[in-house]
Structure 1
């Protein structure tokens, strides 16, 4: 066997740093000091005789061409190691416990994922899922890129480009939703002039979400004359829609199914993409188990009404 110019610990630190592009986040993730991360990488580069990262003050480290080639070979090395280790596995239950972090939309978690979690955990006792739920925002795609999450399932407006690290799964309707009483005696969709006169429920005042929605409204000729409340919670907003208190920008699939008879789309806006991210897990079957669970919980649920589905296995 050759004498390798690296240790497995150095490879672990290197792989984590490639994912986070942050010495601080890598240190937090591995439970070591930032100085230790820096030292591990310096020793690895000295042992290899090449620079793996470009380091500039105030900027995230980036891979050099040699670093990118080393990362590609490391993936092959990890795959080979998994294949060798698999010879001793007789039962998936023998796999060590693992925790995955999932970035997810609030409505997706509450309406589609949480009701099925008990069955997933019963079937996969060695897998722990921790969720970080947020309302839709353009910042979510950036949060995925920093490597903190193992999976992400989020909505993003369809007028925005899909980042290379994300995969488009489906397209769903977006618009201004409210109680059907607002449309009585009128033809749908309501005109923007009439919609402007309705009472609006908005995200938190002066938040990035509110600014995004106001810019979107402007493109559709909508300028709310009266805002009656602000909330960061989609379920609170949905309940207010059901009671006929006001109207709000919503995605069709996030509206709870039991409300859809009374709460309808009053005016169309930009549609929404369902986007997916999965960190490279080699051939670990537990990554596949989580993916199948998240995909099926959403895309196979008849309440998740889509315009189109791009995940071939669920189309």
Structure 2
């Protein structure tokens, strides 16, 4: 068997970093420091003799052509590894806790999943859940195909092609939101030219998320003339909306329920679907419990602002 120019830990770190595009999110998701993430990637590149990522100060790392090719092949490697791991003799469910890795949108996690998490973990002490939370973006979609996550609950623009392994649960409103006092007395929805003149908060400058956002805005005739802030944190965006100092393009599911009376939609854009993913190989009772829990957090919550519900296969358990 050939000697591999990498360790499994290096592959795990690289896979997470390629999926998140963030050293901080990768460190948080793996429970290690950002310095350790950087060191693992640097060593991997040295051992491969190839540069996998373009890294510039203040910008998200971007996969090089070699990095993208390595990431694509890594998906095959991970699927083969999971298949080989299936030969391990199964222990009894009580023998040890089962750990699942989950990808959940930041707003969905903070507003709907986290408030119910303590009850679920108390009722199911042998289930260990590790969450990676991210703002909604096109990048989140491809992460489920890598096999890195066992479950995912993400929002995805409705105009994207369907993902065969994703189950559509509900649709939520997408658009540009602002505090009432910022547009007081004006007829809604606003004209795109008027919206363009308002102060905006956008994703980090130069990031892929910002480019996606600007393309969507331009498709609807909106070209922000004044940007007051760049941030990747949706809660910072929501706080700026609540203070009335900026407008932002997002989904209403990201807004805490307490804000919805005063933070309003001023221009509809593309709606987003709430989509659920479960790794096909997961067939255990514990996996069923996790699926039921995640779906119930959203579909059984009266505060979840669904325009349309596609499925009510939520949990029947008492939360």
Category of TM-score, reference length = shorter chain: 0.7 to 0.9
Cα offset for 1:127?
A: 0.5
Distance 1:143 1:313 in 2: 24
- Aligned counterpart, 1:177: 177
SS of equivalent residue, structure 1 residue 224: coil
Q: Which runs of 5+ in 1 are unaligned?
A: 1-21, 30-56
Q: How many corresponding residue pairs?
A: 250
Cα offset for 1:158?
A: 1.1
Contact 1:253/1:303, CA 8 A, preserved across alignment: no
SS of equivalent residue, structure 1 residue 275: strand
Cα offset for 1:182?
A: 2.5
Cα offset for 1:23?
A: 9.3
- Aligned counterpart, 1:270: 270
Cα offset for 1:119?
A: 0.5
Contact 2:299/2:312, CA 8 A, preserved across alignment: no
Cα offset for 1:212?
A: 0.4
- Aligned counterpart, 1:210: 210
Q: After superposition, give the CA deviation of every residue in 1:220-272 in whole Å (9 maximum; x if it has no partner).
A: 01111111111110001100000000100010111000011110001000000
- Aligned counterpart, 2:18: none
Quick check: 1:60 aligned with 2:73?
yes
Q: After superposition, give the CA deviation of every residue in 1:285-308 in whole Å (9 maximum; x if it has no partner).
A: 000010011100111111111111
Quick check: 1:121 aligned with 2:121?
yes
Counterparts in 2 of 1:103-182, with a 5 A limit? 103-182=103-182
SS of equivalent residue, structure 1 residue 60: helix
Cα offset for 1:165?
A: 2.2
Q: Which runs of 5+ in 2 are unaligned?
A: 1-5, 14-68
Distance 2:282 2:205 in 1: 43
Structure 1 pair 226/62, CA: closer, same or farther in 2 (3 Å)?
closer
- Which structure has the larger Rg? 1
Contact 1:162/1:168, CA 8 A, preserved across alignment: no
Cα offset for 1:312?
A: 3.7
TM-score by length of 2: 0.71
Moved over 3 A (4+): 22-29
